[in-house]
A and B are shown apart, each in its own frame.
Chain A
């Protein structure tokens, strides 16, 4: 693909809100899944109130998330958590990229637009499960009372692209708005969709990434699936997360034209699907799909496997999936390549997973290491103080699909 500059990053995550807070937390290897420390702010819900039985499923919430700090207190009442997380991430990303300044589209000293404006800016956003919060709320009314009593102002939230639609309204993004749903591969696939849109001149700048919101229903689903049974040996059990991460992508040349600084570059994408051997199989961790996705991303980037310094993997503490992903990585890179797993700190954020991976990659890229990379699960850098120039971000889907992305440190 044409190289794209990442000119801004907005994150609302369990490891903090805002670019620098997030990047530092990743570099420090902080873990949001670990404790239920109430000093971090109130919890969204008490797992023991949802279940009457113990669970090994842990939760990584954006604790104490208060959207009013970023959005003011008008008009938030009708919004759900997913929308608020995404709008906050979008607003921060647009300001970080200097497309906006003090809430308005940036202008030059003479008052002309300083870069892409609302008609040239859009978004491609991944989400896996929509607003389970709103669906459950309306279902409760419909099941226990009467479907005639469901709140019409909450009904729009049940539509899958609702949150993305609200982001366009709040941030005035008019070029295009594409929602992508591909489980935990979605946010990397969003980059592929963004590439198609940008390279065909359908927009000049795109917010690209994903969002997923914690809900009782999501927590319950992971618990009922017996996620603990899949947990990696000796690990603490899986951790589901939430949050939103959006990167501003622009063609490198246009970003340079408007004098935007670049946090990193996105240079290649690959994806693959492999059907399972058995008819009855549905859930399907495919090392073969992962391997093909990686090969195709490297080819797209024109980067040799030997040039990849670090893999920002999707390893999340689910044994069969982690093993398949690591097997694919070993086939392409050998056993020694440094593999990190930021989901150990952030939880599995599903539709936002790949976006958190890309954001985490920015934390590693272009920096000389003074210690082993945070969240390291296998291998090591070539030398202990090596600067990470090229990173591969991977996501392995639950149904036989996989996607991979090559990122490079910004040219300094």
Chain B
């Protein structure tokens, strides 16, 4: 991992974002992009200081929506942060993999409005080809000169982890040398309404692991990372910021919106990330939580921590207390929070943490950043659809190279078929 780019409600770019994480700044404010007042909920982690024209050309603005503009802005910052030259980035060995949940949701909403109110012939023709999640990586690939795989991974709230982890696998399997990867998501009215109707949205604050939590808040933004094969990074003399070591995936196959109460899938994913890294739970210094601020999430995540780490109270913290839930972009921004921890030795705080929940016996980094050992951190995500993804990041050079992975000649016996 050689570069990061950030568009968030607590700052644009690495420096501003890291500063805000250290200070525990809240990005929550009244929603300005649409009138949320009839819904009885009015705040979100809206990115107010982002202006597409500051980060994109006129031509780009003409052909893309706000979600792609955020993705592109973050990608450009990541490229600049990686100090990678255009010619080292251009070509068929560079891929772009971007996660999202709804992509250009506002473009779709605009077309639907035209159709519903004014009839089928009123739909603006030029908007139609601007909709589709596939466009996010396409726009970024155009801008950076990538000519390899362009892929969108709509993996809901785990999309960032999926994209970053898949990007690492693409490099490991020799299909790319460089991958621009991350995720982007924008706030949009229908989504906002839906979360209100699911009775999942808090009125003012998102308070993960707090006894008096009232639910989640939504947010938006984009986080992008430049991943390179070690050889490619060394050859160009890049500064290695972190190692994307391994990841674990699983699927609950239980409920479309709720995590499984026994958290078995989530536990499998976290153990998978640790074991595949050639490590044990004792090696993990910090967990960047999914931490949405709903009771179901907090209980599931606390159970995962107990199961994986036993009596050892590994510090955990939720950046959603500051950013709200940025859906597809959440775990990409949290991945950059992991980089923050590896680089600064600081765990970002969970702000608004007032009253410990006795049912969530975890070591929450409460209200102020905390200094601690920071060689190995986990980024946890539990998404809509029962998707679980956990990515393990390590300080560059902190771990010996992983043992070459060879598949067992005969598979271990299948288990769990009775369930």
Spell out A's residues near B (CB within 8 Å).
Answer: 50-53, 105, 107, 112-113, 115-120, 122, 127-130, 135-136, 138-140, 142-144, 146-148, 150-152, 155-156, 158-162, 164-166, 168-169, 171-183, 186, 189, 192-193, 195-197, 199-202, 204, 217, 220-221, 223-226, 254, 257, 271-275, 279-280, 282-283, 289, 292, 296, 397-401
Bound Cα distance from A1 to B129, whole angstroms: 33
- Which residues of the partner chain B approach A197 to less than 8 Å between Cβ atoms? 169
Query: Is B175 close to A, CB under 8 A?
Result: yes
Bound Cα distance from A172 to B255, whole angstroms: 11
- Which residues of the partner chain B approach A143 to less than 8 Å between Cβ atoms? 112-113, 116-117
Bound Cα distance from A333 to B281, whole angstroms: 54
Main secondary structure of the interface of A (DSSP, over half): mixed
Asked if A273 meets B120 with Cβ closer than 8 Å, knowing A174-B250, A176-B249, A180-B153, the reply is no
- Which residues of the partner chain A approach B232 to less than 8 Å between Cβ atoms? none
Bound Cα distance from A189 to B151, whole angstroms: 8
The closest CB in chain B to the CB of A199 belongs to B173
Q: Pick from B138, B162, B252, B419: contact of A399, CB below 8 A.
A: B138
The closest CB in chain A to the CB of B406 belongs to A201
Q: Pick from A142, A165, A226, A272: contact of B92, CB below 8 A.
A: A272
- Which residues of the partner chain A approach B250 to less than 8 Å between Cβ atoms? 174-176
From B8-16, B139-147, B339-347, the one touching the partner chain is B139-147
CB of A382 to closest CB in B, whole Å: 31
Q: Are A139 and B128 in contact (CB under 8 A)?
A: no
User: Which 8 pairs from chain A and chain B are nearest by CB?
Assistant: A165-B385, A160-B154, A117-B417, A113-B414, A155-B194, A279-B59, A147-B193, A176-B249
- Which residues of the partner chain B approach A220 to less than 8 Å between Cβ atoms? 115, 120, 123
Q: Are B125 and A161 in contact (CB under 8 A)?
A: no
The closest CB in chain B to the CB of A165 belongs to B385
Q: Are A273 and B146 in contact (CB under 8 A)?
A: yes
- Which residues of the partner chain A approach B138 to less than 8 Å between Cβ atoms? 273, 399-401
Asked if A196 meets B173 with Cβ closer than 8 Å, knowing A161-B155, A178-B155, the reply is yes
Bound Cα distance from A344 to B173, whole angstroms: 36
4 additional contacts (CB under 8 A) given A159-B384, A204-B414: A52-B120, A168-B252, A192-B149, A282-B130
- Which residues of the partner chain B approach A52 to less than 8 Å between Cβ atoms? 119-121
- Which residues of the partner chain B approach A118 to less than 8 Å between Cβ atoms? 253, 416-417, 419
Query: Is B197 close to A, CB under 8 A?
Result: yes
- Which residues of the partner chain B approach A279 to less than 8 Å between Cβ atoms? 57, 59
Q: Are B251 and A161 in contact (CB under 8 A)?
A: no
Residues 150 to 172 of chain B near chain A (Cβ within 8 Å): 150-156, 162, 166, 169-170, 172
The closest CB in chain B to the CB of A152 belongs to B197
Q: Are A196 and B170 in contact (CB under 8 A)?
A: yes
Query: Is B109 close to A, CB under 8 A?
Result: yes
Q: Are A292 and B156 in contact (CB under 8 A)?
A: no
- Which residues of the partner chain B approach A398 to less than 8 Å between Cβ atoms? 129
Asked if A169 meets B256 with Cβ closer than 8 Å, knowing A174-B250, A179-B154, A196-B166, the reply is yes
Q: Are B149 and A271 in contact (CB under 8 A)?
A: yes
Asked if A168 meets B384 with Cβ closer than 8 Å, knowing A273-B148, A399-B138, the reply is no
CB of B339 to closest CB in A, whole Å: 23
The closest CB in chain B to the CB of A189 belongs to B151
Spell out B's residues near A (CB within 8 Å).
Answer: 38-40, 57, 59, 62-63, 92, 100-103, 108-109, 111-113, 115-117, 119-121, 123, 125, 128-130, 132-135, 138, 141-142, 145-156, 162, 166, 169-170, 172-173, 175, 189-191, 193-194, 196-199, 249-257, 265, 268, 383-387, 405, 407-408, 410-411, 413-417, 419
- Which residues of the partner chain A approach B125 to less than 8 Å between Cβ atoms? 224-226
Q: Are A159 and B156 in contact (CB under 8 A)?
A: yes
Q: Are A273 and B249 in contact (CB under 8 A)?
A: no
Bound Cα distance from A164 to B133, whole angstroms: 16
Bound Cα distance from A254 to B119, whole angstroms: 55
- Which residues of the partner chain A approach B166 to less than 8 Å between Cβ atoms? 178, 193, 196
Q: Pick from A144, A148, A178: contact of B39, CB below 8 A.
A: A148
Q: Are B102 and A159 in contact (CB under 8 A)?
A: yes
Q: Are B113 and A139 in contact (CB under 8 A)?
A: yes
CB of A399 to closest CB in B, whole Å: 5
The closest CB in chain A to the CB of B191 belongs to A158
Asked if A272 meets B148 with Cβ closer than 8 Å, knowing A139-B190, A142-B193, A156-B256, the reply is yes
- Which residues of the partner chain A approach B115 to less than 8 Å between Cβ atoms? 217, 220
The closest CB in chain A to the CB of B36 belongs to A147
A-B contact pairs, 27 of them (CB 8 A): A117-B414, A127-B154, A136-B116, A139-B109, A150-B194, A152-B198, A158-B102, A168-B251, A168-B385, A169-B253, A175-B249, A177-B249, A178-B249, A179-B153, A179-B155, A181-B153, A196-B173, A200-B172, A202-B249, A220-B123, A271-B148, A271-B150, A273-B149, A275-B141, A292-B92, A398-B129, A400-B142
CB of B62 to closest CB in A, whole Å: 7
- Which residues of the partner chain B approach A273 to less than 8 Å between Cβ atoms? 138, 141, 146-150
The closest CB in chain A to the CB of B419 belongs to A118
- Which residues of the partner chain B approach A397 to less than 8 Å between Cβ atoms? 134
Q: Pick from B38, B151, B172, B384: contact of A165, CB below 8 A.
A: B384
CB of B365 to closest CB in A, whole Å: 30
Asked if A142 meets B190 with Cβ closer than 8 Å, knowing A161-B155, A178-B162, A273-B138, the reply is yes
- Which residues of the partner chain B approach A119 to less than 8 Å between Cβ atoms? 268, 414-416
Asked if A177 meets B387 with Cβ closer than 8 Å, knowing A140-B116, A159-B156, A160-B101, the reply is yes
- Which residues of the partner chain B approach A128 to less than 8 Å between Cβ atoms? 132, 134
- Which residues of the partner chain A approach B57 to less than 8 Å between Cβ atoms? 279
- Which residues of the partner chain A approach B142 to less than 8 Å between Cβ atoms? 275, 400
- Which residues of the partner chain B approach A192 to less than 8 Å between Cβ atoms? 149, 175
Q: Pick from A50, A129, A283, A400: contact of B129, CB below 8 A.
A: A283
CB of A65 to closest CB in B, whole Å: 21
Asked if A175 meets B251 with Cβ closer than 8 Å, knowing A160-B154, A196-B170, the reply is yes
- Which residues of the partner chain A approach B134 to less than 8 Å between Cβ atoms? 128, 181-183, 186, 397, 399
Q: Pick from B128, B153, B413: contact of A221, CB below 8 A.
A: B128
Q: Pick from B63, B249, B253: contact of A172, CB below 8 A.
A: B253
Bound Cα distance from A271 to B92, whole angstroms: 9
Bound Cα distance from A118 to B416, whole angstroms: 7
Q: Are B156 and A225 in contact (CB under 8 A)?
A: no
Q: Pick from B130, B133, B251: contact of A160, CB below 8 A.
A: B133
- Which residues of the partner chain A approach B152 to less than 8 Å between Cβ atoms? 180-182
Bound Cα distance from A122 to B272, whole angstroms: 15
Asked if A159 meets B385 with Cβ closer than 8 Å, knowing A142-B190, A168-B251, A273-B147, the reply is yes
- Which residues of the partner chain A approach B135 to less than 8 Å between Cβ atoms? 399
CB of B264 to closest CB in A, whole Å: 9
Q: Pick from A172, A181, A196, A217: contact of B169, CB below 8 A.
A: A196
Q: Are B133 and A181 in contact (CB under 8 A)?
A: yes
The closest CB in chain B to the CB of A143 belongs to B116
